[in-house]
Amino acid sequence: MISMVMVAVGVYARLLKHAEAAMGCLAGEPALLLVMVGVLTFLITFCGCVGSLRENICLLQMFSVCLTVVFLLQVAAGVLGFVFSDKARGKVSEIINGAIVHYRDDLDLQNLIDFGQKEFSCCGGVSYKDWSQNMYFNCTASNPSRERCSVPFSCCLHDADQAVINTMCGHGMQARGYLEASAFIHTNGCIDKLVNWTHSNLFLLGGIALGLALPQLVGIVLAQLLINQIRDQIKLQLYNQQHRADPWY
């Protein structure tokens, strides 16, 4: 049921978007990613549910194998991310820079970046000047955009008493130095903020990972136990049939 809700939300969000706003990059399409995760989750849980109700060994084996693969992929991703932290940081930087380039191309991506910059009090990847990679915020003299040398409003320092958000607060900030710009916007990049947040919340992340892993392990164990019970029942039925056919029984 949860997977079907995920698919429905993803499809609904995708249909609301304009065709010209579509991007080829999956990272820039949260709706498509949600649909894919929902479909995959539905197929796996469908195999487990129907397989257990119908006592179908094939479906149960498929359910168990899929859960095992997903679990191993999660473990491998965690280990590789920890061992190759520098490469993981480079990949995160690549994703963030790609998102900056396509900031105005996708409304979902734009809202996601704005949310991240406001929550982590950061701006850009390494610094606020990374926004020059975007064609609208590019700081070259040949850029005709009104937002030239600007940064998104989510980079700005907001006053708690401010009732109306000034969306032009980041205008021309890239042309200013770090010290001068720091009086109006967050000058630190989001990569360092994200890394620092990860290090300071390792126990929380570990608890979330454990909470996701335990149900998968329980599902794998229960599926294997049910498969063994079904096989024992089949063997017992075959044994009884053979002895009933025996005239000396």
Q: What is the per-residue pLDDT for 245?
A: 60
SS3 249: coil
pTM: 0.65
**What is the percent of the chain with per-residue pLDDT over 90, rounded to a whole number?**
42
Q: What is the per-residue pLDDT for 17?
A: 61
Distance in angstroms (rounded) separating the CA atoms of residues 19 and 186:
34
Q: Is 60 exceeded by the pLDDT of residue 203?
A: yes
What are the helix (H) ranges across the chain? 2-16, 30-54, 57-83, 85-101, 107-120, 178-181, 190-200, 202-244
Distance in angstroms (rounded) separating the CA atoms of residues 28 and 10:
13
Q: Name the one residue in this structure whose structure tokens are 């200013």.
A: 176
Confidence of residue 69 (pLDDT cuts 50, 70, 90): very high
Q: Determine the average pLDDT of the residues in 150-165.
A: 83
pLDDT tens figures, 99-110 = 999 998 877 788
pLDDT tens figures, 70-79 = 999 888 887 8
Q: What is the per-residue pLDDT for 223?
A: 93
Q: The domain 85-238 is classified under which CATH number: 1.10.1450.10, 3.30.200.20, 3.40.630.20, 1.20.950.20?
A: 1.10.1450.10
208-217: list long-range contacts, CB under 8 Å, 24+ apart: 209/74, 209/78, 212/74, 213/71, 213/74, 213/75, 216/67, 216/70, 216/71, 217/71
In 3D, which of 103, 104, 155, 108 has the Cα closest to residue 129? 155
In 3D, which of 114, 101, 95 has the Cα closest to residue 191? 95
pLDDT tens figures, 37-61 = 889 999 999 999 999 999 899 999 9
SS3 151: coil
